[in-house]
């Protein structure tokens, strides 16, 4: 499982979205806390953050095709359940859900990490095909279109609710390879989630790389601390890749 990617073979990359390329700004905890406050409920942002983390991790909502299957309606159900779980005190959970759903659909609610635009540009110039592959839902299309750092460089977007299966299901990674037009052995998946982005990708025959922005360095998986390091990993192999 800890095998390094074969950099000379990689012709396409699937990037996870949240935590890898983008993050919510303001934070999820701040946005949920404000939504509760609008309904007269005061909560500690740190408590909200811990609740969100717990409810986001619990994967109890599935589509009609079993574990890890999904579609747009399933994702709405998932997020409704998360909102109710994180903010059980509020009197009108449905209106909070509508507000929060809308909030996170807007590009201005998200920010790219500073290393994203330079890295995507450098990888594109090396001739590497770039795909965003995410367990976000259809709202991600509008978010990506509204963030120039992504819209300028990303070739394709693969979203679990459109594929029918969430990461780490092999069907998701097969769909991503199909979008890139490449066999799995030429595709690298990069993300901040060990199971969803890396172990699942490796099981499906792709290469996997953990983006560990905290740089703990203790994983038994290939990892980088930022996207600049990812670009540098390619550099010895970049000669002859680009348009020059």
Binding site for Mg ion (CB under 5 A): 16, 18-19, 192-193
Distance CA 54, CA 130 (A): 31
We find the least distance from the C-beta atom of residue 86 to Mg ion, in angstroms, to be: 18
Structure-token match 């970049």, residue found: 238
Q: Could you give phi then psi for residue 65, rounded to 5 degrees?
A: -95, 20
Nearest to Mg ion of 18, 224 (CB atom):
18
Nearest to Mg ion of 196, 207 (CB atom):
196
N- to C-terminal Cα distance for the chain?
35
Nearest to Mg ion of 43, 109 (CB atom):
109
Of all residues in the shown chain, the one whose CB is closest to Mg ion is: 19
We find the least distance from the C-beta atom of residue 192 to Mg ion, in angstroms, to be: 5
Distance CA 171, CA 222 (A): 23
Nearest to Mg ion of 116, 126 (CB atom):
116
We find the least distance from the C-beta atom of residue 238 to Mg ion, in angstroms, to be: 26
We find the least distance from the C-beta atom of residue 197 to Mg ion, in angstroms, to be: 7
Distance CA 205, CA 131 (A): 17
Distance CA 5, CA 1 (A): 11
């Amino acid at each position: 499982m800890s095998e390094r990617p074969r950099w000379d073979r990689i012709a396409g990359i699937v990037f996870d979205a949240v935590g890898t390329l983008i993050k919510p700004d303001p934070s999820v905890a701040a946005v949920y806390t404000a939504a509760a406050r609008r309904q007269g409920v005061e909560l500690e942002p740190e408590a909200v953050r811990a609740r969100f983390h717990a409810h986001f991790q619990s994967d109890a909502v599935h589509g009609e095709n079993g574990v890890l299957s999904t579609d747009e309606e399933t994702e709405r159900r998932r997020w409704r359940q998360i909102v109710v779980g994180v903010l059980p005190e509020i009197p009108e959970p449905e209106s909070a859900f509508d507000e929060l759903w809308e909030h996170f659909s807007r590009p201005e609610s998200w920010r790219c990490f500073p290393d994203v635009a330079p890295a995507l540009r450098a990888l594109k110039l090396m001739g590497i095909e770039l795909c965003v592959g995410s367990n976000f839902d259809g709202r991600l299309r509008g978010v990506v279109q509204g963030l120039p750092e992504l819209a300028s460089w990303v070739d394709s977007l693969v979203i679990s609710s459109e594929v029918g299966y969430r990461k780490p299901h092999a069907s998701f990674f097969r769909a991503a390879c199909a979008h890139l037009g490449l066999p799995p052995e030429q595709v690298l998946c990069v993300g901040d989630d060990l199971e969803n982005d890396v172990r699942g990708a490796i099981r499906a025959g792709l290469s996997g790389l953990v983006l560990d922005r905290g740089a703990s360095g203790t994983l038994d998986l290939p990892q980088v601390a930022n996207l600049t390091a990812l670009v540098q990993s390619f550099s010895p192999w970049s000669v002859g890749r680009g348009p020059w």
